[in-house]
Amino acid sequence: MTFTTGLGYILAADKISFGLFYPITGIFLLACAASALNHYQERETDSLMKRTVRRPIPSGRVKPGTVLVISGVIFFAGAAELLLATNLLTLGIGLTAFLWYNGVYTPLKKKTAWAIIPGSLVGALPPIAGWTAAGGSLGDPRIYIIALYFFVWQIPHFWLLLMLYADDYRSGGFPTLNEIFTTAQLKRITFSWLVATVMIAMSIPMFGLIHFGFSTILLFLISAWMAYNCVVFLASNAEKKQIVGSFLKINFYTLLLITVLSLDKFLNMI
């Protein structure tokens, strides 16, 4: 969320100044507060899953009440930073992401295996917050292709984790797609979302966010690399090593995309 907030700011700014760090820090603090609150909300289910049983609350290292205090303090620090150093619109976007994560997505995970789809709105909002913090218009369609990318990217990102930890999620009482689809079907669904992620990234030049031809070439090269890895994943047996590899690659691809877009804008400012 910090990286994507920074990307949104860079893409909207006429010049880079210290002001970049205000929305980044504010959104980072709100994300930390949301994460801490999530630990409190899911303390009982965390104690039932192997991958979360050693978190601070279920392991007994921190009391639930203490976590609420920590979350509250960090929340007000982040909100104050956005209010005082950016603008009300950016604060509103940050608060919306916080409320959506803890008030909608977190409880929805217990109700439906499809919760990640509405939940992915949380990942689409930080680049918009960075954009508005730099003075970008909320009505500018350019930021929405970036937001769409991060919305779609989160879905295969999560489903790859789901393929690794399905049994653990069931132990925690969470409904999973593994109860609806076979491994082969889930692999094909995840592949489709991976391809959609790459296709959205490749459409970014059409929105005028890239200024140099070599940046477009780099974007298409990394996209071709990711598309190839998508095909490799589809042809695989979906074993642990292959799933982890795909998870790391889609995240690395996203970091490369952020780097290409940011460097392109930096060079355009010179």
- Provide the CATH number for the domain around residue 258: 1.10.600
SS3 of residue 57 by DSSP: coil
Cβ atoms of 226 and 265 within 8 Å: the answer is no
What would the two tokens of residue 36 be? 């801490």
* Whether 230 contacts 156, CB under 8 Å: no
Closest CA to 114 of 57, 69, 170, 175: 175
Q: Which domain holds residue 8?
A: 2-269
Which residue blocks in 55-87 are alpha helix, DSSP H? 64-85
Q: Can you give the pLDDT at residue 170?
A: 87
Distance set, CA 176 to CA 40, 165, 216, 226 (Å): 22, 10, 38, 26
Residue-by-residue pLDDT tens, the chain, 270 positions: 999 999 999 999 999 889 999 999 999 999 999 999 999 999 999 999 998 999 999 999 999 999 999 999 999 999 999 999 999 999 999 999 999 999 999 999 999 999 999 999 999 999 999 999 999 999 999 999 999 999 999 999 999 988 888 888 888 889 988 888 998 999 999 999 999 999 999 999 999 999 999 999 999 999 999 999 999 999 999 899 999 999 999 999 999 999 999 999 999 998
- The pTM (predicted TM-score) of the whole model is 0.94
Please, what is the angle between helix 121-133 and helix 142-171, to 10°?
A: 150
CA–CA distance, 260 with 98 (Å, rounded to integer): 28
How many residues are there in the chain?
270
Between the CA of residue 236 and those of 139, 176, 270, what are the distances in Å? 42, 22, 45
Tokens at 146, concatenated: 């970036």
Q: Is 115:147 a contact under the CB 8 Å cutoff?
A: no
Query: Which value, in Å, is the radius of gyration of the alpha carbons in the chain?
Result: 19
Contact 211, 264 (CB under 8 A): yes
Domains: count for the chain: 1
Query: Residue 166's pLDDT is what?
Result: 85
- pLDDT of the residue at 258: 97
CB 107 within 8 A of CB 118: no
**Cα gap 26→37, rounded to integer Å:** 17
Distance CA 163, CA 191 (A): 12
